[in-house]
Amino acid sequence: EIVMMQSPATLSVSPGERATLSCRASQSVNSNLAWYQQKPGQAPRLLIYGASTRATGIPARFGGSGSGTEFTLTISSLQSEDFAIYYCQQYNNWPPLTFGGGTKVEIK
Amino acid sequence: QVQLQESGPGLVKPSGTLSLTCAVSGGSISSSNWWSWVRQPPGKGLEWIGEIYHSGSTNYNPSLKSRVTISVDKSKSQFSLKLSSVTAADTAVYYCARVKWSSGWVDYWGQGTLVTVSS
């Protein structure tokens, strides 16, 4: 099973600033990686798939990059609605699908 | 727009069986998708439980495989989860979800339902 690790666990950012979240896989997942956003009391929402392709309706300030074992989610200019928990998920070796532990983006 | 809605008991006794159903609307359960269950313990991350295709083919998380059964009822456009021998560690919000065939990412989620294991 591929283990996904996210860092940092918590990221404190001021509105308007850039946020950079990391995700690392225990072995290569090629570009088979997705990112999700989860707000309190809500289900996760798909942001990115294929490591860098934005899902339908996702604003351009969300960008994904990386391949192999190292991935990054960048939020170029944080808006108030972006403060949430973000999860990465691999689907290269599926089943099982595996998720990272999450990064909480909080207001600084 | 596909909609998924979980239903089932919110409280299950230890050693009992957790049973949930997910109703699929706005799309055909017989389309090319994997119908999945994902859970999230309070304050923790996401764990994939397993999935089923409309043909009945299933995949399970190895960590839960001995206790999990996922089934589909095409006539009712729903799929179900059974998790046996539950303990407090199985307390979580349980989500049903859709993974498009051969994609691997979840594009639709249910709202989630909290299941508490307690006597």
Residues A37-88 have pLDDT tens digits of 999 999 999 999 999 999 999 999 999 999 999 999 999 999 999 999 999 9
The overall average pLDDT reported for chain A is: 97
The overall average pLDDT reported for chain B is: 96
Mean pLDDT over residues B91-109, rounded? Answer: 94
CB-based contact, B114 to chain A, within 8 Å: no
Nearest to B104 among A45, A87, A97 (CB): A97
Residues B4-45 have pLDDT tens digits of 999 999 999 999 999 999 999 999 999 999 999 999 999 999
Q: Is B104–A45 a contact, with Cβ atoms under 8 angstroms apart?
A: no
Q: Is the pLDDT of residue B101 over 90?
A: no
Report the candidate in B98, B114, B102 with the shortest Cα–Cα distance to residue B41: B114
Q: What's the pLDDT score for residue B100?
A: 86
Put simply, the chain A residues between 25 and 44 with a CB less than 8 A from any chain B CB are 32, 34, 36, 42-44
CB-based contact, B10 to chain A, within 8 Å: no
Q: Is B103–A49 a contact, with Cβ atoms under 8 angstroms apart?
A: yes
How many Cα atoms sit within 13 Å of B87 on the Cβ side?
3
Share of chain A above pLDDT 70, in %: 100
Identify the three-state secondary structure at position B10.
coil
Residue B52 and residue A106: Cα distance in Å, rounded? 36
